[in-house]
Amino acid sequence: MDPLTPMITTNPFDDDKLREECGIFGVSGADTASAIVALGLHALQHRGQEAAGITSWDGHDFHTHRAMGHVAGNFDRDEVIRGLPGGSACGHVRYSTTGETSLRNVQPLYAELNSGGFAVAHNGNISNAMKVRRELIRRGSIFQSTSDTEVIIHLVATSSYRTLLDKFIDALKQVEGAYSLIVMTPEGMIACRDPLGIRPLVMGKLGDTIMFASETVAFDVVGAEYIRSIDPGELVIVTNSGEIRSHRPFGEVHPRPCIFEHVYFSRPDSIVDGSSVYSVRKAIGAQLAIENPVEADYVIPVPDSGVPAAIGYAQESGIPFELGIIRSHYIGRTFIQPGDKVRHLGVKLKHNANRALIQGKKIVLIDDSIVRGTTSLKIVQMMREAGAAEVHMRIASPPTKHSCFYGVDTPERTKLLAHKLDVGGMQDFIHADSLSFISIDGLYKALGEAKRADGRPQYCDACFTGDYPTTLTDQDDVVVTNQLELLAERVA
């Protein structure tokens, strides 16, 4: 992602969800690695829909193809795959950021270092990237993109250590924040997670071919076997001869993987850190029903992300599960850019009420989160216009009060509805008869923990609690700069 500008969403019909920034997939030891990577990226398309790229290694040269848009259409053509020969390849899908989206920011990023070619695909966000970048530029580095990922390349290139592995480890020890990385060099492939394991990364196998991916669904689509998650702080190296080595250069770690992967980001058919996402979301819905019961005729999910939690809520509460909202799957991110006059109709293009079912009924709507609140408002309004007698809303996560700085597309904090209003105020804003959220301890319980640990939480839940697991160097620098500028204005 771009650390120099804030992030916004670009789809006017879907501007009220948190979005994962990236998905990565790597293959080592295959006859046509790039073709396998292209298939895997299809399964990870939900993690990034703005651009995609693949880099391959044929034993002598690196080959890269990057393009704006979806994987389909860009990597489904034979001539593109033929242009990416070799037994190793890595790929990346990403979302856009504020400002002009540039091909130079599309990953994998590639550079020629003294040790040879170096390609990297990154999921996450380096929270001290701007500070490191300024220092590198001061020392003479010349950047080709505005991506935080590029600082890793420059840190490797300027490291005084002798071996490439030691240079890479040296670089990682200078950055903060979240990263799951797949790196390709002439020596082989490296997959690693940051010491907190904030972003996911898993390992799979198909015959003698080793694979790494953001989610296990990428293995399913290519027929590979899921082996295990890459541990937080672990580097797994696959040499060109097929040897696999594990390095743990960070010593003892205290993992805090992103809790929102289980709530929303990952596909429900994925396994994240050993847990079925679908099963966890059903458990969240059941816990939500225990904590926040309501008398209703039907439990209705806000599609598609609310479906598993709604099933769990219905099973626990005994209230029938029904599809009261029908989603159109044909509204893409490149649909018309409407003017203000028709912008408010966007939600009806994507969701439509099942009027015959809900008319005269008391309904409980289940969704994964409320961000700005605009979609929830429109959904509740749609239910009332369709004749619902009562509309109750239940949310399968605690209130989202804080921004994410670890690779998630989050509005600035002042635009988060839960930052501005308490639950009662949020209920009034969306015009629901009642509104309730799962508690933070309830969320942990659904994930198999007794409760949220005091002092050392088991997950990164900063978007709910404000308890960030790392320092936020760049963010702190911005705050200090703003304070100094304000002081200077007052003095003047």
pLDDT tens digits in sequence order for the chain, 492 residues long: 444 333 333 343 345 667 666 999 999 999 999 999 999 999 999 999 899 999 999 999 999 999 999 999 899 999 999 999 999 999 999 975 433 468 899 999 999 999 999 999 999 999 999 999 999 999 999 999 999 999 999 999 999 999 999 999 999 999 999 999 999 999 999 999 999 999 999 999 999 999 999 999 999 999 999 999 999 999 999 999 999 999 999 999 999 999 999 999 999 999 998 899 999 999 999 999 999 999 999 999 999 889 999 999 999 999 999 999 998 776 554 344 444 444 455 556 678 999 999 999 999 999 999 999 999 999 999 999 999 999 999 999 999 999 999 988 777 888 999 999 999 999 999 999 999 999 999 999 999 999 999 889 999 999 999 999 999 999 876 544 444 444 444 444
Whose tokens are 């003017």? That residue is: 339
In a domain, 486, yes or no: no
Residues 443-463 as b or e (16 or more Cβ within 10 Å = b)? bbbbbeeeebeeeebbbbbbb
Residues 50 and 171 in one domain: yes
In the chain, the number of structural domains is 2
| CA gap 30, 326 in Å, rounded | 42
pLDDT at position 348: 62
| CA gap 201, 212 in Å, rounded | 7
Residues 206 and 245 in one domain: yes
Residues 188-204 as b or e (16 or more Cβ within 10 Å = b)? bbbbbbbbbbbbbbbbb
Residues 317 and 442 in one domain: yes
pLDDT at position 334: 38
pLDDT at position 295: 97
CATH of the domain at 146: 3.60.20.10
In a domain, 75, yes or no: yes
**E strand segments, 207-302:** 209-213, 225-229, 235-239, 244-247, 271-272, 275-276, 298-301
Residue 93 phi, psi dihedral angles, 5° rounding:
-125, 145
Residues 230 and 176 in one domain: yes
Domain termination site, one of 224, 255, 286: 255
Whose tokens are 């396998």? That residue is: 36
Which residues 6+ apart lie within 8 Å of 207 measured at CB? none
End-to-end CA distance of the chain: 37
Q: Which one, of 217, 195, 187, 192, lies nearest residue 204 by Cα?
A: 217
Length of the chain: 492
| CA gap 479, 367 in Å, rounded | 34
Residues 315 and 224 in one domain: no
The three state secondary structure string of 68-123 is ECCCCCCCCCHHHHHCCCCCEEEEEEECCCCCCCCHHHCCCEEEEECCEEEEEEEE
Residues 350 and 241 in one domain: no
Domain termination site, one of 226, 255, 284: 255
Residues 338 and 240 in one domain: no
Specify the 3-state DSSP secondary structure of 245: strand
pTM of the entire predicted model: 0.89
Is-catalytic flag, 22? Answer: yes
Which domain range does residue 320 map to? Answer: 276-464
Q: Which one, of 267, 203, 271, 259, lies nearest residue 231 by Cα?
A: 203
